Chain A
């Protein structure tokens, strides 16, 4: 799960000119650690929805990598 999420995160980062990350940690903050703003998070959401069929922002806030993993585990 973390590997496919890393791939998606890197797609969004590369689209805005940020470097590819080699790994993800559950504690990482999507904004402060991964460098995403609200528009990037929208792109992240739709790319995750395509892969997993889940809209991670459909209910409540998602702040960290571990929040995403929790949504996908449901």
Chain B
């Protein structure tokens, strides 16, 4: 499965890019996180504390145990600070 992975705010800064394409067989968001963590130190750092992160699949907020089945876009970002 080919996914667009998006990063925002300090997650984007730590990883060093706003968006990338990834071919993966990860079944859940957590599997994807594990895969990214093993890539490089900057990924391991960005994903070191998942309680400080939020995730969206296809622009809908979800949980780290959510299935990636049929997903096209996964975004990682810190808790939102709107308003």
Q: Do A and B bind each other?
A: no
A-side residues, CB < 8 A to B, are: none
B-side residues, CB < 8 A to A, are: none
